[in-house]
Amino acid sequence: MRKIIIFLLFCFACGDEIYASFDIVAKQISKLSLEKSGVVSEIHVDIGDSVKKGDLLLTLETASDEISLSGAQNDLAIATELLRFATSTNDRYERLGQAVSQQERDQISQQFEQAKLNVAKAQIAIQAIQDQIAKKSLYAPFDGVILSKFVEVGQGVAGAAQALFEMYSTPEVKILLSFDARSAHKVAVGDTFVYSIDGREGEFQGVISKIYPSIDPKTRKISAEVIVTDQLIGGFGEGRIITK
């Protein structure tokens, strides 16, 4: 009797085992585009390339923007020199005090304030052009692999509405498993999932990180996720959820 009780307690502690099938999909997949329109000047990656977050993928032509930037920098240099002169003149008139009329002092002060404003406007113009140039370069938003390329050098692009690349994240991938909805109340985040892939020998193990909040009306199954590394997207298999 004692052995039976111990066995029953062991079974209760282990919980249920619930069958689940699964597919391996990307944890994150994105179609990438640029905010700005223009003509592609350089493409730095191709389909199948692995990239790191922040890697440069593509640039648009910026020749006209560079000319505008050069002009804005010249405007800033002129405005800065005029401000230097206005500052010197304003300081001199302030030292003269009552020796000059209030009207003259007000006029010089106004010229000084306008010179400061012109410098600020020139600085803003430079920042706006630099921002426009920066937005003509596309960078990888996360570590991953280039899945598709939709553009070539010399081709025009139309801004955010046009996808330029598609990529998925690595090295983490997502096991998207499904199981009978009648067992939904038994499964919880943190439960262990033991599985085999593509019918190959050997078992792997992961932990359920997410349970979907709805039931598929066609299959009457509910989905869950397990995040793993170093598995190929497109793989499939089956396993068992070990509940607590």
Which tokens in the block code for residue 169?
Answer: 């994240």
Among 7-16, 72-81, 218-227, the least confident range: 7-16
Distance CA(173)–CA(209), nearest Å, equals: 12
Neighbours of 181 (CB within 10 A): 16
Which tokens in the block code for residue 1?
Answer: 């009797």
Among 91-105, 106-120, 222-236, the least confident range: 91-105
Burial class of residue 231 in the structure, from the number of CB atoms within 10 Å of its CB (0-12 exposed, 13-18 middle, 19+ buried): middle
Report, in this order, helix, strand and coil percent for the chain, each rounded to 5: 35, 35, 25
Give per-residue pLDDT as tens, 160-211. 999 999 999 999 999 999 999 999 999 999 999 999 998 776 789 999 999 9
Per-residue model confidence (pLDDT) at position 77: 97
CA–chain centroid gap for 62, Å, is: 23
Give per-residue pLDDT as tens, 126-174. 999 999 999 999 999 999 999 999 999 999 999 999 999 999 999 999 9
Give per-residue pLDDT as tens, 28-60. 999 999 999 999 999 999 999 999 999 999 999
**3-class secondary structure per residue, 195-235:** EEECCCCCCEEEEEEEEEEEEECCCCEEEEEEEEECCCCCC
Fold held by 63-134 = Helix Hairpins (1.10.287)
Burial class of residue 60 in the structure, from the number of CB atoms within 10 Å of its CB (0-12 exposed, 13-18 middle, 19+ buried): buried
Distance CA(145)–CA(25), nearest Å, equals: 13
In the chain, residues under CATH classification 2.40.50.100 are: 29-60+137-168
At residue 152, the 3 state secondary structure works out as coil
In the chain, residues under CATH classification 1.10.287.470 are: 63-134
Domain 29-60+137-168 indexed as CATH 3.40.605.10: no
Distance CA(226)–CA(21), nearest Å, equals: 12
Which tokens in the block code for residue 70?
Answer: 């050069």
Average pLDDT over the chain, rounded to an integer: 90
In the CATH scheme, what is the code of domain 15-28+170-242?
Answer: 2.40.30.170
Per-residue model confidence (pLDDT) at position 94: 78
Confidence of residue 240 (pLDDT cuts 50, 70, 90): very high
